[in-house]
Structures are given as C-alpha cells and as structure tokens.
Structure 1
C-alpha cells in the first residue's frame, strides 16, 4: 500500500470517527449492525467494506461521499452539546429528546433538503420494538418535530409513556378521541376516549427516520 493510500484511509477513519461520536459510537455500531471492534478498526484507519461504510453513514445521518471521499459539507470540530438543534457553519446538531450524549451532527445542506422545517424544535428519539414495521424498525433513529403536536392525516408521532417513548400512527376519531395504530398487523388499534386523548402526551411528529439498510 502506498503512502498516499494510507493517508486517505487515515483521513477516512477520522471522518468516520467524527460522525460516529456525534450519535454515540456504540449506537452507531448497533444501528449499522457493525461489530464495535470493526468500527474501532475503521476509525483507526483500517480497510473498510463499502457495505459496512454505507450502513454506518446512514446510521450516523451523514453522506457516504463525505465519509469515503471528503466531498460535500465540511464537518467542523465537535462543539458542546446544545439544548436545542442549532444551525451554524456547515453543521447542525439535533439533540436527543432526553438530552443523552451530544446529539446527531449532520450537514446543514442535508438537513435543509431532508427535513425542510425550522430546526429548533427537532429532537432525536430511538425506535424500539417491531410495532411500526415495516415503516420503522427496532434500532432506528427517528427525528421528531416537537412543534408539530396537532394530529393530522394519520401521521406518525412519538408519545411519552411511563417507561419511555412509544411511536405510533395517530388518527382523530369522528366521535371524539384518538385511534393509535401500529403498522405491524400483529398489533391491534387502540382507541382512546376524549378524556384519555386529552391526557396523552404527544412529543412530536416523526419527520425522518434512519437506520441500517434492510434486505
């Protein structure tokens, strides 16, 4: 291997490190279905499989071209975690809803194209379980718009429950109340009365979801 190839691999590994650290290295490995030790080797400049690199790019919410070749938005040095998603320079940081870790660091131009909404209300929530399959999968990372809490047109929302966050498709019922639907046919719809609907804590509408490629 030439010195130039080694340099390119080291730089590629450093870009991958920046992207993985933004969402949490352990989370990035799990979401991309890449062993943690393999991800560590990649970040240290080891040879990368294209399929694994593509999965990691998607799990981290960044462009494959940027990680592989340094093309596209320039990623700056990590900044301190912000209370809200914020724009600045070439990057946007979207915070976790529960303020874990730093948040998701993405390119500004990518965000403006993928989620053309005001970014200050955007938050990250994890998707757990298979109730929303095949639309959303266990281990996916969802971006919610906390400014969009009014139920419209059967959109998907994140809901606060006692032990965490539940993601469901919500519809208004003609007689009042709300119907919560899972996309997996194994889970029956749940009907909430008007009083139950009033006490439901909707965190925001799901406006983007990412995860490892599905076969």
Structure 2
C-alpha cells in the first residue's frame, strides 16, 4: 500500500477525532486494528499506518478548494499524476462525488505549499507560512539578545548572547531552534520538546545529535567505540541500536548537528 503514514505524520495533520501524541495514535491504531506495515531503515523499525477514511473530514466546499489547488498545476493530467490517482477519480473528488484519499490531498498540497487546514476546513490562509531563517537579528543591533524562530513556524524564543557564549560555548550564528524530530528518544526527549542544535558540530562524538537517516530527521545518542566504531541508539525500545564503521562511507547517514540545549512544556 502507498497511503501509509507514521504516527508522527498523523499527529502533524491535527485531524479532528484523533489523539495529539504519537503514543496515543499507536494505541488507537492497535485498539481499532488499523492496517499497518513495518518499515526498516538506519534508524530502526517503525510502523506506518493506513489512516481509516472516517477520520478524514469531508466538509462542503472541499472539492472547490481542491479545484483551486489543481488549477496551480499545468493541467489535470499532471495534477492526477502528482496526486497518485486516475484522472477520473480526480474529477469525482473535485465534484465531491468521491471522498478524497488523504495521501492524494497531501501529494497535491505539499509541492505548492498549500495549507491542509485550509483545504479541509476553508479556514485560515490558503498558503502555509514560509519558514523563516533560523536566526533573526534583534531589532536593536546593540542588544545582548538574539531571537531564534522555531523552524517552520512563527514561534520565537530569545536568548542572551552572553549566556550562549558562556554556557553553551558556541556561536549564536551556528544554532538552529527546532522541535524534536522523530520519537526514538521518547523517554528522554518528547516531540513537544524544543532544542537548540549546533549545526557547526557535525563530527561523530559522544552525545545527543540530530541525524538525517535515509532522508528523515531524528535524534539519536552517539557513542564512540574502539576500532573506529560508532554506536547509534535511542531511548525508545521500539528502535534497535546499530553500529557504524567510521572508516567507511555510510549512505543515508548524516550528522546535522549536536543538541546543546532543550526546553520542555510541563
């Protein structure tokens, strides 16, 4: 099957009637016997689910909004190919004769930067807010404060340059503020936690790092081992640790940066 989503992706959709945490999504999926498959990559094994159709809202006017999205493509044939559906099904979706598959809606929306909330409910802006730069200059250039924008959002947090220099011992310009990606550190870090990542520190060493594994961001604990080996592990028992040979290139493995601070809502 192709319309499969991880628990993290389902949570990010914020669909009515569904839980707002990955753990609760997994529990609901097990309780309601959702179809799932297990995918294995460098980060370990994870489940991806077929989201039941009853959780996809079907308000009136959705077909009209989808037609606006389709009009952004060269023609309907191209839009159908991007959506992953036949031209006949695309026509029925637009006329609201058929329910739109969730994956088809996502496939159409993401390349154009269209808000899923707008497609589903008609509320808010049609286009997602473009991500801002990771670091924004303070309004007063002589200020000791530096403002970071949470990647992909309008949320900002300000930190003292002096504190960054003295406590984190890094340059503010090398830091990026992001929400914890993935769930492999569940128990130590949660997806609601916010972290500062030093993107200048990409050498394999002991500590917590943001990694790109097979193109997917995740947080892992790295540990140098004798014999030029690197152990990659998490706190979530659903993911098995693995080792890498640092003397050999490892396709699909990239160190994005080291975690130097985290904040949590309690």
TM-score, normalisation: structure 1: 0.50
Structure 2 CA distance for partners of 1:83 and 1:135, relative to 1, 3 Å: closer
- 1:167 aligns with one of 219, 233, 237: 219
Question: How large is the Cα RMSD of the aligned pairs?
Answer: 3.2
Structure 2 CA distance for partners of 1:162 and 1:95, relative to 1, 3 Å: farther
Return the offset for 1:95. Answer: 4.4
Residue of structure 1 equivalent to 2:232: 180
Larger RCO (CA within 8 A; separation ≥ 6): 1
Whole-Å Cα distance in 1 between the matches of residues 173 and 190 of structure 2? 26
Whole-Å Cα distance in 2 between the matches of residues 127 and 140 of structure 1? 6
8 Å contact from structure 1 (residues 125, 165) kept in 2? no
Higher strand share: 2
- 2:171 aligns with one of 95, 118, 121: 118
Whole-Å Cα distance in 2 between the matches of residues 83 and 185 of structure 1? 32
Q: Deviations over 1:66-87 (max 9, x none)?
A: xxxxxxxxxxxxxxx5464546
Q: Does 1:92 align with 2:146?
A: yes
Whole-Å Cα distance in 2 between the matches of residues 156 and 176 of structure 1? 18
Q: Does 1:149 align with 2:202?
A: yes
Q: Deviations over 1:99-151 (max 9, x none)?
A: 52356331426645653421010012321444213221122111100111122
8 Å contact from structure 1 (residues 125, 143) kept in 2? yes
TM-score, normalisation: structure 2: 0.42
Structure 2 CA distance for partners of 1:171 and 1:92, relative to 1, 3 Å: same
Structure 2 CA distance for partners of 1:173 and 1:197, relative to 1, 3 Å: farther
Whole-Å Cα distance in 2 between the matches of residues 207 and 162 of structure 1? 24
8 Å contact from structure 1 (residues 85, 121) kept in 2? no
Residue of structure 1 equivalent to 2:187: 134
8 Å contact from structure 1 (residues 177, 196) kept in 2? no
| Other structure's SS at 2:219 match | strand
Whole-Å Cα distance in 2 between the matches of residues 125 and 185 of structure 1? 24
Query: Between Structure 1 and Structure 2, whose CA radius of gyration is higher?
Result: 2
What is the count of residue pairs matched by the alignment?
Answer: 133
Structure 2 segments unaligned to the other structure (5+ residues):
1-13, 15-19, 22-131
Structure 2 CA distance for partners of 1:82 and 1:169, relative to 1, 3 Å: same
Structure 1 segments unaligned to the other structure (5+ residues):
1-25, 32-80
Whole-Å Cα distance in 1 between the matches of residues 146 and 195 of structure 2? 16
| Other structure's SS at 2:240 match | coil
Whole-Å Cα distance in 1 between the matches of residues 216 and 252 of structure 2? 16
Higher helix share: 1
| Other structure's SS at 1:120 match | helix
Whole-Å Cα distance in 2 between the matches of residues 83 and 133 of structure 1? 25
